[in-house]
Structures are given as C-alpha cells and as structure tokens.
Chains A and B, each alone.
Chain A
Amino acid sequence: MNSIFEIDNLNLHYDDFQALKDINIRIEKNKVTALIGPSGCGKSTFLRCLNRMNDLIDSCKITGEIEFKEENIYTSNYDVISLRTKVGMVFQKPNPFPMSIYDNVAYGPRCQGIKDKNILDEIVATSLKSSALYEEVRDRIKESALSLSGGQQQRLCIARAIAMEPEVILMDEPTSALDPIATLRIEELMNELKKKYTIIIVTHSMHQAARISDNTAFFLMGELIEFDKTNKIFTTPKNQKTEDYITGRFG
C-alpha cells in the first residue's frame, strides 16, 4: 500500500479531555478517504492534526507520531508553512476572503512570494477550471467573492486550495451548508480531483461516503473503530458498532 500519511499511537487532549485515543491509521495516496462517525467523536480534530491547524488551539496537546511522506510533522523544527502548502484544507462553512474572486485564488501563491502577473493569471485560470467554476465566473473575476452563491463560494475555496498545488486536500463536511444540487456538483468535482490529489473528507452523509470514497474510517468517541475499503465497511463491517452506526441504529 502506497500511503501518504502514517499515523501511530496518536493521542490528543484538550486540557483534561481526551478527544483522540490511540489512533493508528495509514492514509492511501491518490485515494478518497472518508471519515465518518457521530457528532463529537473527533473527526474534525483528527483532520486538523494532519495540517497542524490544532497548533492554534492553546489547550490542545498531542502525543504520538504523524508521518507525512515519511517525515514526522510534529517535530519542533518541521516547517509548518510548507506542510500547509502541501496539505490544503476546505472548511465546513464556505469562507472566502472579502476580496475579489481573483485575489482569493491568488492569495496563497502571493503569500509564497509569486508576484508575476502572468503566472498568477495562469494559476487563477487553471485553479478555477479545475474546480469547475471558471465558466460561471470568467466575466466577473474581479468582483467580490461574497457575491457568489454558497455552492460557488465553496468551489472557490476548493480553487483557492488547489492554487497551491497541494498533494492532499482535507475537507471538513464541505457540503453540509449546501443544497443537494450544489452538493452534487462538489461530489462530481471530487471525483475529478481524486485523479490528482489525495482527499480526506469528513462527512455525516453515509451516501456521500459510499458514493465518493475508496476507504472509510469509522470514529466513535475518539477511537478509530474500523478502517477499511468503503464497500467492505458498508456491506460487511467487522465491528458490531460500525454496523449499528451504518444501519442507523444509533448516532
């Protein structure tokens, strides 16, 4: 198995509360991995470990090992900035900056010091095309990103992440704030994106997990209960708790 993330004995505490308990998991490269589980089981917390966004939370303490491309990212001299350029993130609520569409997409590259207008134009155009937004916004690329619909805003956020040419895209319930049609478009988009990128997605929708993911991890109360091929999880789960959750008996 060709894994991009290798996580060993990951434990995470918020002050005294243990949010993740002894997680061991290998995330496969260029596959879609879905994280499912009831609310509060630690899916978002786990996701934030992968690009070290948990660093922003003062109370958060982590032990164990997370290796990204065979390098432990939780060592003190690891370059967090470059990690985040390689591991992009899309949030639950679309959060474009209050700037133009263009400036939103160009934001990341600009922060890395790219100033050449031609290069930026090129990056913006390809990113918008890859996120299937280009046709809709090509005439108003200089207009405010806040004038877009919720679904368009979320695709803009994906474009913004793609503009960094990351290797992994983390998505935390990217469609939960969207209507079914916008959701469908994002799911189609993910099917395109997984050819190039490794995607790790948190979702509350079993159908979504079943439709788009290759592997599925089931979390419960901070523990990783089961991790397997998606079709195995949904047809023949090994663990009784997984089966209960998938069949809707609790959660």
Chain B
Amino acid sequence: MLNKRNIIDIIYQVITYLAASVGVIALSMIIFFVFSNGLKLLNFGLLVNDYHAEFYNGGIDDPIFTFSHRPISLDDKVFYSQKWGIGLVDSKDREGNPIIIIEYISGDSPLLEIYDKNNEESKEIIGIDKGFLVSKISYYDKNTSLTMYGAESMINDIESTNEIREIVFSSLGGGIRGSIITTLYLISITIIIALPIGISTAIYLNEFSSKNRLTSLLRSLIETLTGVPSIIFGLLGLAVFVPLTIRFSEATSANIVSGSLTLSVILLPIIIKSTEESLKVVPDSFRSASLALGANHTQTTLKVVLPSAFPGIMTGTLLAIGRIIGESAALIFAIGTAVKDDISIFGKSTTLSVHIWSLMKDEPANIELASTIAIVILLIVLTLNIIVKLISKRFIKEF
C-alpha cells in the first residue's frame, strides 16, 4: 500500500529525473547542432590554413610535360588532364556561386613550377596545392577559360594547348591557424602572468597573513571581483592596458599582450579562490608535524602544504584556461576582432571565441565555420582536461 511518505518520495524522484533529463537533452542538442553543422568542414587543412584567401597570378615558361596517368582513386566527378597532371572538380562556395577546385595534382605536374607573375624578377615558385581554387586560365592561342564554363571545359582547353599565359588562382582561405595560435599565445602569457601572482596571493592569505581588517578587506574585494561581468574588465583593458602596451611597445592597437593583461585581471580572483580552497583542505596535522620538526613557516608551506594542494591548484588552473578559451566579451575590446594570419604578440589578431563571434555577426552568418571552431574549442578543452587528470593522477599515485 502506498502511504503519503512514499508518494512524496516518488514525486521528488520524478522531479529530479525530469530536471536531469532536461539538462541532458539541452546539452546534447547543443552538441548535436555544433557537430552536425561543423563536422563537414573539420579537417587538418582548416587547422593549418590561412583565413584570408591569397590571390595569385601565376605564370609558367617552357612546361615539361610528363603525361602521368589518371589515378584510379580519383572520383568520377573529377576532370583530369594527363598533359598537365591536374584534376579539377566543380563546386560551390558558401554563397552558392560556382567555383573550381584543384582536387588532385600529380607529383611531377609542370604546374608545380608556376611562379609569381607580380614579381617578374625573382620568379618565386608559388607552390600550387590541392584545395586551391582556379578562377581563370588564359592562353596565347585561344579564348580564356573561366570558372563559369565549368571544370570540364577548362580541362579540355588546357589539354589541347602547350602554353599557358597566365593562371589566376587563390588559396582556399577560411583556415583558423591564426586564431588557434593567438589563443595559445593568450593562454600561455595569461597563465605566466596570473598563476604566480594568484598562487602567491592565496598562499599569503591562507598561510601567512594574520586575521586583520586588511586581509578581510582584500578577501571581500576578491569575492566582489569574481562577480563582475567580464565586459567591464574589457573596458578596463581598453582604457588601461591597450594604451599602456601601445606606449611601451611596438603595438599600435589592441594586441595579444593587452588581452592577456586584461584576462589576468579577470582570472586572478578565480585562481586565488581556487588555490585558497585547495590550501584549506590540507590537514593542519601536516603543518603541525612540520613545524614540530623545526621547519620554519616557509619550509612548511613549500615542502608540505603546496605539494599536498597541487592537484587542487592544477584543477583551478584548468578552470582558468577554460575561462581564457571561452572568454569573448572582454576580449572584443582588449584584443580586438581582426582575424589575422600572421601572429605577433604585439600585433592585431583574435582568439577562437572572438572569431566565432565575428563570423556570426557577418551577414550572412557563417554558421558552419563557427560550429567547426566550436568543435575545435571543445577538443582543446577536452585535451586539457585529460592532461590535467593524468598529471593529478600521477601525482596522487606517487604518494
């Protein structure tokens, strides 16, 4: 028989299950959305390529033809020129306009010798590669082949000629190497600045300071800072760190260093708090034992307390790094939104999260690439998580 107690229990259980499943469903929907939109763009090229497409006017003198056979692995949709050792395929860009992509280029193709026509003296080899777009090829003896006539006619044209006047092509672009590098720089510099300061402050507060007005003031200040929206710190970065870096370095605008300084300010309270938490759980019996053995305060802190708190501090650091990767509001001001390919720490560039932001504010929004970057961010966070778990585990196992 069900009594009142049981019914209440069942109601509570149903509520918890419902709440849990809503959470799980929402999370899986986000992940599903991100993966279904972003997975098709995800490949190695995306990670190492430039974002901005590079246009080339290529020229070639006295090509040596090798007549390599069409590889069997090539798809039927690819049109292949034996003479020039190149396979082209029709495709569409994001806006739906037709494009022609180099799908295959054989290792001995004469086209590999293409040089930069804009720089006639040095005749620097461009290094044409799979994935480049061909927009037009012009000849001395016949009409130019254009993208609008399709890959098949372009292949027919070059197969029947021995000389190419000019070939206009571009790298694919859309790669996120620059943003990845910026993110990594930002993580390293911020951690280098914020971690030592944060950990030292926490040690001072928890191990050395006596309980007085000043320390309790400091504590409540830290507490308050944790709750301040990051965009306000972004304004601080814009008002203080950007001019500061411009004044004392070659920087001319918001840059990676000003971004790192701003993020350091955001992270300090978080690092201080998490370090303090992990110092607090170190049993006092360790401290007493150490002091009773004639160790002084500093030795006790460095040799006994800090090592015991290490896994906790690592977890805090990981959270901090997660925060760096995820932060966008503050960085829009403090580092800027310019997506760049050449990265220097005093130059303009932007992080993966801000990259997503700028992709989504474009018209039309580039949801695919944004989702792909989201996947990359997820993967980075996952990797960091695993690394930290492994380190802490090894550390714990040792003792």
Whether both chains belong to one complex is answered with yes
Question: Most chain-A CB neighbours within 10 Å: which of B211, B283, B303?
Answer: B303
Q: Determine if A146 and B399 form an interchain contact, defined as CB atoms under 8 angstroms apart.
A: yes
Contact with B along A94-109 (1 / 0, CB 8 A): 0111110000000110
Given contacts A58-B211, A93-B285, contact A107 B292 (CB under 8 A): no
Interface: A215 (CB within 8 A) = no
Q: Determine if A81 and B296 form an interchain contact, defined as CB atoms under 8 angstroms apart.
A: yes
Q: Determine if B295 and A111 form an interchain contact, defined as CB atoms under 8 angstroms apart.
A: yes
Interface: A149 (CB within 8 A) = no
Interface: A157 (CB within 8 A) = yes
The contact of A98 among B294, B295, B399, by CB within 8 Å, is B399
Complex Cα spacing A201 to B257, Å: 60
Binds B, one of A3-11, A21-29, A83-91: A83-91
B residues 267-316 touching A (CB-CB < 8 Å): 283, 285-296, 299, 303-304, 307-308
The contact of A97 among B290, B291, B296, by CB within 8 Å, is B290
Q: Determine if B285 and A107 form an interchain contact, defined as CB atoms under 8 angstroms apart.
A: no
Q: Determine if A51 and B289 form an interchain contact, defined as CB atoms under 8 angstroms apart.
A: no
Interface: A112 (CB within 8 A) = yes
The contact of B288 among A56, A88, A112, A160, by CB within 8 Å, is A56
> Which residues from A are CB-within-8-Å of B308?
98
B: number of interface residues (CB 8 Å): 22
Interface: A53 (CB within 8 A) = yes
> Interface SS of chain B: helix, strand, loop or mixed?
helix
For residue B54, give the distance in angstroms from its CB to the closest CB of chain A. Answer: 56
The contact of B292 among A89, A98, A99, by CB within 8 Å, is A89
For residue A206, give the distance in angstroms from its CB to the closest CB of chain B. Answer: 27
For residue A81, give the distance in angstroms from its CB to the closest CB of chain B. Answer: 5
A residues 132-181 touching B (CB-CB < 8 Å): 144, 146, 157, 160-161, 164
Q: Determine if A82 and B399 form an interchain contact, defined as CB atoms under 8 angstroms apart.
A: no
Q: Give the interface size class of chain A.
A: 20 to 34
Contact with A along B355-399 (1 / 0, CB 8 A): 000000000000000000000000000000000000000000011
Complex Cα spacing A112 to B295, Å: 8
A residues 70-84 touching B (CB-CB < 8 Å): 81-82, 84
Complex Cα spacing A84 to B296, Å: 10
Q: Determine if A91 and B285 form an interchain contact, defined as CB atoms under 8 angstroms apart.
A: yes
Residues of B within 8 A of A (CB): 210-211, 283, 285-296, 299, 303-304, 307-308, 398-399
8 further contact pairs, Cβ within 8 A, besides A81-B294, A107-B295, A146-B399: A56-B287, A82-B294, A84-B292, A85-B294, A91-B288, A95-B283, A108-B293, A160-B289
26 contacts between A and B (CB under 8 A): A51-B292, A53-B292, A56-B291, A58-B210, A58-B211, A81-B294, A81-B296, A82-B294, A84-B291, A85-B293, A88-B292, A91-B285, A91-B292, A95-B283, A95-B288, A95-B289, A96-B289, A99-B307, A108-B295, A111-B290, A111-B293, A111-B296, A160-B293, A161-B292, A161-B293, A164-B293
